[in-house]
Amino acid sequence: MSSIPKEFLTENYCFTHYEIIKINCTWVLRNFLSCSDIIDEWKSPIFSSNVYEEYKFSLYVKRSTSYADFVEFFLIYSDPSEILEPKLKYKLSILNEKQEEKYAHTATIKADTTNTMRKIHSLKIVNDLLCEDKLTICFEMTVAKFINITRLPIAITKSELNKDLGMLFQNGKLTDFILVADGKEFHVHKAILAARSEVFAVMFEHEMQENKLNRVEITDIDAEVMQEMLQFIYTGVVTKLYQMAKFLFVAADKYALDGLKEMCEKKLCEQLSVEVAVDTLILADRHSAFELKEKAIKFINENSIEVVKTEDWKNMQKTHAYLIVEAYQRIVNESNTKGTNTNGNKK
């Protein structure tokens, strides 16, 4: 089993194991042309993996009933009741008299039907490749078989850095700056805040009044939010993200804490509901959070009947009408996309 770096910071360490299985078959159909007038279909013997016998297949060739002078090739599960992997990759080719692969076709397909592969060749092409009236088909298949998921049953040594920095913030030793929020003082270390936030770095590097006094009062962040933000700065951990995602999101944007802002953005996406969707959309727009804005618009469009009944929606019509236009435009764009095929032609 692979070793784990001691400095790797995690509470769980797991392995997921997939095994690559390759199955090959060369199938020779003798007297193919001679029998083509009286035989319409041919089926190969069953072939399988040498290791996993549950993977049993056969090849099936028949004259096409839909296309004149064409031959169809199929892959058939010998036991469709077996649980197989969701997808498989195959290569089908015809060998010429020099045993060279011709007209090779490779594809990845879903393994969810009995006849999972269908390939059509013209009968003329097939006949031109015959050697002594023998048709030689070469088939290769690759499957990723799920084996297991294993949790490593040993204790993992964690880095002491986050723990030590957390204690440094908690005990307030060797601090050289004070942040004040809601009348509460937070004794902090300039170097740590500057290393984690470009905004704090600029504040400390320039001859600003706050830097001279080694003290600054924050008027737009309350004490509880400040506590959580500083905890993130020192340890990378937030304990009250669920309750305070909205307020931490604003604080993270103000102080350029990208990691915290991303955490809050994901949590706000998870918390989208009819009651908060409009407020979240305005918040995302104000703080340039593209992913959160897209998720909020999508949620509003999918739940428009309920959302338009809220007071927030009515207020947004007055204060942020352009966001309503964006939401409507998204519906139009999606409608146009669904009504157009991949070639750009209307269905």
CA distances from 322 to 111, 299, 301 (A): 47, 17, 15
Which range, 327-331, 333-337, 341-345, is most confident? 327-331
0.75 exceeded by pTM: no
Q: Helix, strand or coil for residue 30?
A: coil
pLDDT of residue 116: 56
Question: Where is average pLDDT lowest: 155-159, 169-173, 267-271, 281-285?
Answer: 155-159
**Cβ count within 10 A of residue 6:** 9
From CA 68, how far away is CA 10, in angstroms rounded? Answer: 63
**Cβ count within 10 A of residue 96:** 15
Tokens linked to 168: 């440094």
Tokens linked to 275: 């009651």
Of the pLDDT bands very low, low, confident and very high (cuts 50, 70, 90), residue 157 is very low
Greater confidence, 8 or 150?
150
Contact 149, 15 (CB under 8 A): yes
pLDDT of residue 2: 45
| Tens of pLDDT, residues 260-300 | 999 999 999 999 999 999 999 999 999 989 899 999 999 99
Rg (CA), the chain: 33
Tokens linked to 32: 């193919």
**Cβ count within 10 A of residue 278:** 25
Of the pLDDT bands very low, low, confident and very high (cuts 50, 70, 90), residue 69 is confident
Q: How many Cα neighbours within 13 Å face the side chain of 197? A: 23
Tokens linked to 171: 């005990």
Angle between helices 277-286 and 241-254 in degrees, nearest 10? 20
What percent of the chain clears pLDDT 70, i.e. is strictly above it? 82
Spatial CB neighbours of 96, under 8 Å, sequence gap ≥ 6: 102, 129, 131
Tell me the H-state helices in the chain. 32-35, 123-128, 161-171, 190-196, 198-205, 209-213, 223-235, 241-254, 258-270, 277-286, 290-302, 304-307, 311-319, 321-338
Q: Domains in the chain, please, with CATH?
A: 15-148 (2.60.210.10), 161-335 (3.30.710.10)
Q: Which residues of 178-211 are buried (b: 16+ CB within 10 A; e: fewer)?
A: ebebeeeebebbbebbbebbeebbebbeeeeeeb
Report whether pLDDT(17) > 90: no
From CA 157, how far away is CA 42, in angstroms rounded? Answer: 62
From CA 153, how far away is CA 155, in angstroms rounded? Answer: 7
Q: Nearest CA to 76 among 94, 55, 93?
A: 55
Tokens linked to 30: 């003798």
Burial of 22 by CB count in 10 Å (0-12 exposed, 13-18 middle, 19+ buried)? exposed
What does the pLDDT average to over 160-167? 83
Phi, psi for 61 (deg, rounded to 5): -125, 135
CA distances from 82 to 45, 85, 99, 141 (A): 18, 10, 34, 17
Contact 182, 223 (CB under 8 A): yes
From CA 137, how far away is CA 139, in angstroms rounded? Answer: 6
Report whether pLDDT(248) > 60: yes
What does the pLDDT average to over 182-200? 94
Report whether pLDDT(207) > 60: yes
